[in-house]
Structure formats: C-alpha cells, structure tokens
Amino acid sequence: MCVLCSGFLVQEHWSDVRTHPVRDREVTVGGPESRDRRRDRWMRMKMANAILQVYGLKLDDWNGSKYILRDVKGSTEIVQDWGELWPAVEKLARRPVDPLNPDFLARLKAAGGHN
Amino acid sequence: MRVSGKIPVTVLSGFLGSGKTSLLGRALRQGALRNTAVIVNEFGKIGLDHHLLSRVEERTVLLGGGCVCCSTREDLVAAFLELLRRASQDGRPDRVVIETTGLADPSPIWFTVLRHPVLQHHFDVERIVVTVDAVNGLLHLDRHAESVKQAAVADLIVLTKTDIASEASVRRLESRLRAINPAAAMMRTRPDDPDAPDLFPADRPLHAPSRALSEPSAPDRPSPHDGGTRSLSVRFDRPLDWNAFGLWLSMLLHARGVDILRVKGHLDLGGDGPVLLNGVQHIIHPPEHLEGWPNGERCSKIVFIMKGIEPQQVMDSLTAFQHVLGAAPERLADAEFAV
C-alpha cells in the first residue's frame, strides 16, 4: 500500500527488483540507502526520457514514489513502473511503441540516443 | 528448500504420448521425488498411487488483454491453495511437479505461479521439463505448433524412447531441437535406464541451464515447419546498465511479448556475480543474483527464442540502444551460448 496515494500494489515489476545483493532489503529507512534509491530513480528517469523524447513525452518523478508522464499539451498519466509506462506512452502518443520498428530506431539515433 | 523459502515447482510437459507419465513414474519409483506433491491433468496408465495429490481439469481464465500467455489456470490455483492448506496440517512438500496434458501450453502455468497474489509468495517455477519422443518427435514438430512451443520454452528437453529410434534420427531430432531452443539442456533416456533422469537437481542454481552447450549445432537454421521460430544468442562486451536494460526489455515485451517465447541468460551488471534473467513471453521471473560467474567467465549472455521476429531486428534495436545500455551487442553462434 502506498501511504501517499493509497494505491494498492500487488506486484513489484521485475525491473524494480534491486540486483545488488547488499541493498536487497525489504524496507528502506533512510541514510545512504535512501540516497542510492533516489539516485537510482533519477537515473532511470533520465534514461527513460532519452527514449520518450522520440514520442514527444517527458517523465517526471512524483514524491519518489510514482512517475508522471506528460505530453506537450499538458495531458498526464500516472505511472508506477515500467510495466505501466509503455501502455501510458501509447495512450498519450496515440501510436504503438515498438523497439524493433526501424523508423523509431532511426529517430532514436537522430535524437542522440542518450543525454 | 531454497534460500527464498519458496516451494520449487517443476512443470513437466511434452506432446501426447511422449512419455511424460512414464518418466515421472520412474522418478517416483526410484525415490528421486521423496516428499513431492504431484498435480496431473490426466490419469496415465502408470499408477502414481499415494504420490498423487490431485487431478485437475484444465480450466483457463483469460485476463484483460486476452493474451493467452497472461491467463490464469484457475484449476491450478485451486490445487495449489489446497496444497497450502494441507501443508499447514501435514507439513510442506519439498517440491511440486505439475504434469500437463500433451497439448498444454506451459506459459499460463508460469504466469499463474509467478503472478497469483498468494501463490507467488509460496511457490516458484524452478524449471520447465519437456519430453520429446525420439521416434515421432520430428513428425510432431512438423505438424503441431504445440510441440514447437513446448520445445521453445523448455529448460530441459528429455528425449524418450531412444532405444527404439536409430542413432541418426535421434541426432537429427537433437539438431532440430537445438535450432529451436539453443538454451535448453538436453538428455536422452530409455525405459530400461537404471537411473531416473536427473530432473530435479538440488545443487544447481535456479534456472541456469544444467550444462554448457558444447556440441556444435546447426546455427540458428529455421525449419520451414517450426512456425517461424528463430533464436538469437547475444553477448555484451561490457557490463550492462540494469535500469537501461529493464527499460529496453519492458518495451520489447510490451510490444512483442506474445512472440518472445523465451528470454534467458545471465547479465553482468558490474557486481560480484551475474544476475539471472528468465522470461516466458510477457512474464519475467524476478531476477536473481548469483554469487559466482559460471565457468569463471565474466560477461552478459542472453538468448531470445522468438516467433515471427528476425534475429537481425533485435540486433538492430540493441545496437541503436547501446549508448543507453552501456554496452554493444555481439551476435553469437548458438553453440557458443553456454551459461
């Protein structure tokens, strides 16, 4: 249960599983681990935005617990994890996403592919 | 019992008449499966006696998207919950074996165990074992898409009836199966085999293929009958960024999950050991961290088994994403895929 938005989470998305054994704890209280987690989220967002710019979208953090996906006209979608991200991208961009699509890959390369 | 404390589940699948029940019966008689709960879809001729926990009628409930791999097998949920209820009274079993029907698709079972809100905390799919009949296996692969799908998602392929098939035809079948699924371990068995096939090793890391694929195989040569099943083995030259890889793979599975029959491998994320990656269609098993590098070789290797997707499409995508991923992909021959 998320205490900020009372969202009920049944499943942790596989991409949110922490892959470092030392940090693999159920509860993060504060201190350096909390800083690591925030840095991790910031890095994830930065990478996601490098890809989302191809669709004219931008992802922002919301209180360190969720993400907000926006288009240039101000429409927003709340996203919990990468499992929810891509359906939300398709909704706002009004087209299917496909990382194998040659046009998308060409635009990603043209956009720099990274920040 | 494993570190996670969850009860390991083995899915035993294989086409009609490929010897699933005989294999299971033999393993039970030889004592390899002490304290194992067995769930079967149909009664075979071989008596499973007191080992038999329950027989279930296959009952699949399609969820929202209507995608077959993301469907819950309600019959299994009921059987597993009953097993938990009994375990609280009589003690928990060391493992569960599910024997499917010959035409069953293993992916809904994977989905059911890994995604059900209760089951995911008590059970874990350890491996998918698929039996293939050495005599009729090629015919089944040619004629039945179910048989190709079963071979594609297997962790271990057991060739049965090898005593009544010629060596040449067994080799042809092995080569065909390796072209479909280069990541699966393969073993032969025959009815008079004194040892139950090693289906349930306790000392191997979860999901890691049980041995290296050392024999050269037909490199990724599709058969016209395999329904467009192609495989791609990739290696990365430098450690991958987990966040970036998660982003790319989640995007791929969202767009093409139905056609990614299996994704499997180990990832070098810069830590002391690899992270195991294991997925069937849309569903990725929670990644696990291993202590040491297999064969002492530090690198990332991933195999994709796909339907209707050309390996070059995935290579092009990984190459375009390489700046985000932090490493460039290099395509391997299937024989080089050794985890």
Residue B99 has pLDDT above 50, yes or no: yes
Q: Which of B52-56, B160-164, B239-243 has the lowest mean pLDDT?
A: B52-56
* Residue B147: closest CA among B70, B66, B213, B229: B229
Q: Which residue of A has its CA nearest to B317?
A: A100
- Asked if B134 and B240 sit in the same domain, the reply is no
Mean pLDDT, chain B, rounded, equals 80
Listing from the earlier edge strand, what are the strands of the sheet with B36-40? Answer: B52-55, B36-40, B95-99, B7-14, B123-133, B156-160, B185-188
Residue B43 has pLDDT above 70, yes or no: no
- State whether ipTM is beyond 0.90: no
Mean pLDDT, to the nearest integer, of B62-91? 75
Distance CA A93, CA A90 (A): 5
Is residue B223 domain-resident?
Answer: no
- Asked if B67 and B12 sit in the same domain, the reply is yes
Distance CA B248, CA B255 (A): 11
pLDDT band at B226; cut points 50, 70, 90: low
Is residue B2 domain-resident?
Answer: no
Is residue B193 domain-resident?
Answer: no
Domain boundary among B138, B169, B188: B188
**Do A107 and A93 form a contact (C-beta atoms < 8 A)?**
no
B2: left (phi over 0), alpha (psi -120 to 50) or beta: beta
- Asked if B246 and B141 sit in the same domain, the reply is no
Mean pLDDT, to the nearest integer, of B62-82? 72
**Do B31 and B146 form a contact (C-beta atoms < 8 A)?**
no
- Asked if B149 and B254 sit in the same domain, the reply is no
Mean pLDDT, to the nearest integer, of B155-183? 92
Tell me which residue has tokens 């159920």: A26
**Do B170 and B143 form a contact (C-beta atoms < 8 A)?**
no
Residue B66 has pLDDT above 60, yes or no: no
Is residue B126 domain-resident?
Answer: yes
**Chain B closest CA to A58's CA: distance in Å?**
15
Q: What is the CATH number of the domain that holds B318?
A: 3.30.1220.10
Distance CA A81, CA A62 (A): 12
Say how many domains are in chain B. Answer: 2
Is residue B263 domain-resident?
Answer: yes
Q: Which of A23-32, B126-135, B175-184, B330-339 has the lowest mean pLDDT?
A: A23-32
pLDDT on residue A115: 43
Q: Report yes or no: B241 at the A interface, CB cutoff 8 Å.
A: yes
The residue extents of the domains of chain A are 45-115
If contacts are CB pairs under 8 Å, which of residues 163-222 in chain B contact chain A? none
Q: B23-35: per-residue pLDDT in tens?
A: 887 777 776 677 7
Is residue B196 domain-resident?
Answer: no
* Residue B299: closest CA among B339, B252, B258: B339
pLDDT on residue A3: 63
- Asked if B114 and B256 sit in the same domain, the reply is no
Global pTM reads 0.83
pLDDT on residue A11: 74
Strands A76-79 and B7-14: unpaired
Domain holding B262, by residue range, is 229-336
- Asked if B184 and B233 sit in the same domain, the reply is no
Q: Which residue of A has its CA nearest to B115?
A: A11
Q: Which residue has the higher pLDDT, B66 or B19?
A: B19
Domain boundary among B158, B188, B218: B188
Provide CB contacts within 8 A for B329, sequence distance 6+: B234, B235, B236, B315, B318, B319, B322
* Residue % of chain B over a pLDDT of 70: 77
pLDDT on residue B209: 42
pLDDT band at A102; cut points 50, 70, 90: very high
Q: A8-22: per-residue pLDDT in tens?
A: 666 788 888 876 654
Whats the size of chain B, residue-wise? 339
Mean pLDDT, to the nearest integer, of B249-260? 94
Q: A55-81: per-residue pLDDT in tens?
A: 999 999 998 889 999 999 999 999 999
Contacts of B250 in chain A (CB under 8 A): 13, 15, 82-83, 85-86
Contact (CB<8Å) B246/A105: no
pLDDT on residue A10: 66
**Chain B closest CA to A23's CA: distance in Å?**
12
- Asked if B21 and B168 sit in the same domain, the reply is yes
**Do B127 and B105 form a contact (C-beta atoms < 8 A)?**
no
* Chain A positions with Cβ closer than 8 Å to B: 10-15, 17, 19-21, 24, 40, 43-44, 47-48, 50-51, 82-83, 85-87, 96-100, 102, 105, 108-109, 112-114
Is residue B211 domain-resident?
Answer: no
- Asked if B53 and B174 sit in the same domain, the reply is yes
Residue B313 is nearest to which of A12, A100, A112, comparing CB atoms?
A100
pLDDT on residue B219: 45
